[in-house]
Amino acid sequence: MKKKIILIICLVFIAGVTMAGNQKFDYTESIMLPLMKTTTSNYTVVAITTLTPPGGVGNYGGQMDWSPDGEWITYDVQGEDGFTDIYKIRPDGTDNECLTCDNFVLPNRHHGQSAWHPSGRYLVFQAEKTSHFMDSWHRPCRPGGGLYNDLWVLDMESEEFYQLTDVRSGLPAGGSLHPHFSHDGKKLIWGDLEGITGSYGNWRMAVADFVTSPIPHLENVTYYEPAIMDNWYETHGFGPDDSWIYFTCTDVEGMNENAMDIGVMKLSNPDDMRRLTFSSGMNGEPAEWDEHAHLSPRNDVFAYVSSSPYGVKDNSKYGNWLKTDVWLMNINGSEPKRITYFNEPGYPEYEGDTICADNAWNPDGTKLAVGIYVKDTGETHIKIIEFSIDGNHPPDKPIKPNGPTSGKIGVKYVYTTSTTDPDGDRVYYKWDWGDNISSWMGPFNSNEIISVEHIWGSKGKYEIRVKAKDIHGEESPWSDSLSITIRKKSFRLLERFMERLPWLEQLLSVSR
């Protein structure tokens, strides 16, 4: 194990953003935007705390990610030998553990830029090749640079490592950057280096099928370069239904490469690329550095970093002048909102000249982990931003079902219930009859008494309950249960006979 470690948070390729112009992302039908009720105006920062894992300082590194169960944050750490490794730590700062240190299967150079599979079983990451054209100079091969980096995946259950890509080791240089899984876990997106041109390299986006049998591997790789100036792409993730992707790019002819925008593209129509931010520095737009967009698990807002209002400069030594803070914008790019002021004196979180870099949401979208680099001290930290989210409210717990508590097989019975939606939204109902659960029924008005019918096919005792959801998808708790006992259907003639001869019923009962 490496004795001395230095904490790293990604600073290479950080970008900033402001909203200008009137163009808005309008893929609303495919992403169900009409169902989303919360916007950036509903988000309020209630706390910013510092998570500083054991280690020292540094000013570069790779992305972080929050595990699907919310139990871990993975991040990059630089060791005594100058190479980075991937660590995981709990959000409260405990159980810091290296995942890639001194593993005989790995190249044991730079490892970083980790991202979790939605199942929590796999962790994809970048690893610098064992040997390549620039063997004597590893700085461009850091996780945030991606030069001569392959993609690998760690099976968190078996603790086995598998190499996914094998990029060029000579010239033109190959590389990989910022891998992310789709929401269904079936695809992987990353940046693929075509060559070393421009300020940050000539990149394209790659999307492939992630296949786990017989061992994890990639199939059917497709490449995309939809932007007008298509030399710079940094991939950030997939839309809610995995039909579109979002990324950082330069999409206006002649724009400064330090002025970057966040864009989106439908996989079914790669020519239809749209910008969510308008920071090109061209045609009256401000020049800002926009990067590290991550969609909330609530699918309503993006978190991203922005150099606004500080702007960008033409020279490539961005570490000397770049300052970024964290912003939110709606899923369609509207209502941008600055949420941190690490660079502004007078605010509680003020740190001095600061670069905010990669970020990651916790599973319920109430917290955001952000990597920051404080220039004055050279320190890097993970900050945890906690939100209060106002807006849509789920329906109240429905009234306990009202209806018969005993019955017979094959007979139709009617039950009623109602609920109140605090926002007055229309609601759907789902019934659990004990023998099956219905699909959603509705919509109905808030407070409307609704009635439904059900037939049981076998005898027994059943618990009936119901739950509601509003038109925005927010669900209520299940109602209290109503019990019903279902008996076999009897013949009326036999019942009358038994009523006249009760001794016979007793005799039959004894004989059984």
Same domain, 333 and 420: no
* Same domain membership, residue 34 and residue 11: yes
Residue 66 has pLDDT above 50, yes or no: yes
Secondary structure (3-state) at 408: strand
- DSSP symbol at 94: -
Confidence of residue 503 (pLDDT cuts 50, 70, 90): low
Query: Residue range 351-359: average pLDDT?
Result: 95
**Lowest mean per-residue pLDDT among 19-28, 49-58, 229-238, 491-500:** 19-28
**pLDDT tens for each residue of 159-172:** 999 999 999 999 99
Q: pLDDT tens across 296-323, in order?
A: 998 899 999 999 999 998 876 888 899 9
Residue where a domain stops, chosen among 342, 373, 389: 389
Residue 219 · residue 211 · CB < 8 Å: yes
Cα distance between residue 211 and residue 185, in whole Å: 9
pLDDT at 4: 34
User: Which of the listed residues 389, 417, 436 is the one where a domain comes to its end?
Assistant: 389
379: pLDDT strictly greater than 90? no
User: Does residue 223 fall inside a structural domain?
Assistant: yes
Residues 324 and 397 in one domain: no
**Can you state the percent helix, strand and coil of the chain, rounding each to 5?**
5, 40, 50
What percent of the chain has pLDDT above 70?
Answer: 85
Domain-located, residue 16: yes
268, amino acid identity: S
Residues 398 and 337 in one domain: no
The two three-digit tokens of residue 321, written as one number: 């002048």
Same domain, 384 and 501: no
Same domain, 217 and 341: yes
In a domain, 283, yes or no: yes
Q: Which of 303, 347, 340, 337 is nearest to 323 (CA)?
A: 340
Question: Is 18:288 a contact under the CB 8 Å cutoff?
Answer: yes
We report the CATH number of the domain holding residue 401 as 2.60.40.10
Is the pLDDT assigned to residue 176 strictly greater than 70? yes
Predicted confidence band at 287 (pLDDT cuts at 50, 70, 90)? very high
Domains held by the chain: number: 2
Q: Over the stretch 74-108, which tens digit does the pLDDT of each residue have?
A: 999 888 888 999 999 999 999 999 999 999 999 99
CB atoms within 10 A of CB 70: 15
Residue 68 identity: P
pLDDT at 12 over 80: no
Residue 307: CATH number of its domain? 2.120.10.30
pLDDT tens by residue, 448-464: 999 999 999 999 999 99
In 450-512, where does DSSP find H-type helix? 492-500, 502-511
Q: Look at residue 132 and tell me if it is in a domain.
A: no
Q: How far apart are the first and last CA of the chain?
A: 75
Range(s) of the domain holding residue 498: 392-512
Distance CA 75, CA 70 (A): 14
Is the domain of 260 the same as that of 230?
yes
Q: Is the peptide bond between 443 and the residue preceding it cis, with omega within 30 degrees of 0? A: yes
Asked whether residue 88 is domain-assigned, the answer is yes
Q: Which is more confident, 442 or 495?
A: 442
- 414, with CB counted inside 10 A (0-12, 13-18, 19+), is exposed
Residues 84, 105, single domain; the answer is: yes
DSSP one-letter code for 505: H
Is the same domain home to 294 and 171? yes
Q: Does 133 reside within a domain?
A: no
Question: Is there a contact between 373 and 355 (Cβ–Cβ < 8 Å)?
Answer: yes
The DSSP secondary-structure symbol of 481 reads P
Q: Is residue 454 part of a domain?
A: yes
The reply to whether 296 and 400 lie within a common domain is: no
Q: 179 and 268 share a domain?
A: yes
Question: Mean pLDDT across the stretch 264-273?
Answer: 94
Q: What is the pLDDT of residue 280?
A: 94
Residues in the chain: 512
Residues 6+ apart with CB under 8 A from 246: 236, 237, 238, 239, 262, 263, 264, 265, 276, 293, 295, 302
Q: What is the DSSP letter of 313?
A: -
pLDDT band at 328 (very low <50, low <70, confident <90, very high): very high
Mean pLDDT of 365-389: 91
Whether 346 is in a domain gets the answer yes
Q: Which of 365, 389, 413 is the last residue of a domain?
A: 389
Give CA–CA dist 136/124, Å, rounded.
Answer: 26
Regarding whether 411 and 399 lie in a shared domain, the answer is yes
